[in-house]
Amino acid sequence: MDNTTFDYSGLTGPLKYRLTNDYMFKAFLQKNEKALRGLLCALLRLKSEDIKTVAITNPIVLGETITDKSIVMDIRLVMNNDRNINIEMQVDNLGDWPERSLTYLCKSYDQLKKGENYIDSMKVIHIGILDFTPDGFPEKLYLDYHFVNKKSGHIYSDKLTILMLQLNQLGNAEDEANMPDLYHWARLFRATTWEEIIMLAEKNESIKDCIVTLKELSEDEKIQLECEARERHRMDLAAATRHGEKMGMEQGIDKMSKLIILLLKENKTEELAKASEDEEYREVLFKRYNL
């Protein structure tokens, strides 16, 4: 379908499934290579002619039922035959983003086959599109991390990179002025209505081509079922994480309460004071009292 002649007038109201749904996210970028190239240009600060080839290495059969709901809907691709790129959409803050991203980065880098030289290892870029800011991270829309010396700025290697697009940090007028393409893509991912998307399409040519693809995917019943299944899985995972955190906190409080009572009974106030400040010593006491 030609987007230049497509009538957008019938597209109104809320999106049934937003692009923050990881299945819709992957289906959309897998189906529309032009959109994928536009996103990569915005994220990597490239011109369209800089991307010669792009190939997704873990495609899914769109609409086919995914029996393993724990599967990660990331997008792994090879660009220009010289770098591995992994893109994932992450909505919920599960408290493990630094470890998660490093694991993906290192796994992607460790791709040499038997007989290949270390020098032949490809560059690896892990891109997280997050709808949250991990604890302690800068509150900025776009963050990039590289393997460099803190004092001198010397680049140890340019083969390892982590990029983050924090959708929850949208709203800074300077971001739109300084990096309009990336800002518009972030707005697209966070859009909740067709009206928002159409407005963005008027500002950004590469996003204009997205509307037809989004409409086709949104109207496909099989795609809808998979989006719904992924949404349920995401909510179940978040609920399980919150429950685990609550149980861990409650158990910790219960253990400490019992320890306080035992130490007070034995009039060990000095040990109690030390235990309240020293985590390692507290663990020693937990073991001593079988808590």
The gap from C-alpha 152 to its chain's centroid, in whole angstroms, comes to 30
pLDDT at 5: 59
Largest CA distance in the chain: 83
Q: Specify whether the backbone of 115 is left (phi greater than 0), alpha (psi in -120 to 50) or beta.
A: left
pLDDT at 158: 94
Within-domain flag for 258:
no
Asked whether the beta carbons of 109 and 159 are under 8 A apart, the reply is: yes
Express each pLDDT in 65-99 by its tens digit.
776 655 678 999 999 999 999 999 999 888 889 99
Split into its structural domains, the chain has a count of: 1
- Separation of alpha carbons 199 and 258, rounded Å: 60
pLDDT at 58: 93
Express each pLDDT in 97-123 by its tens digit.
999 999 999 999 988 888 889 999 999
pLDDT at 114: 85
Tell me which residue of 253, 245, 248 sits closest to 92, measured CA to CA.
245
pLDDT at 244: 53
71 C-beta neighbours (distance < 10 Å), count: 14
Residues of the chain with pLDDT under 50: 1
Paired sense of beta strands 75-79 and 83-90, if any:
antiparallel
pLDDT at 1: 45
Within-domain flag for 141:
yes
Q: Which residues contact 66 (CB under 8 A, 6 or more apart)?
A: 23, 60, 226, 229, 230
pLDDT at 3: 52
Within-domain flag for 249:
no
Structural domain span for residue 204: 22-219
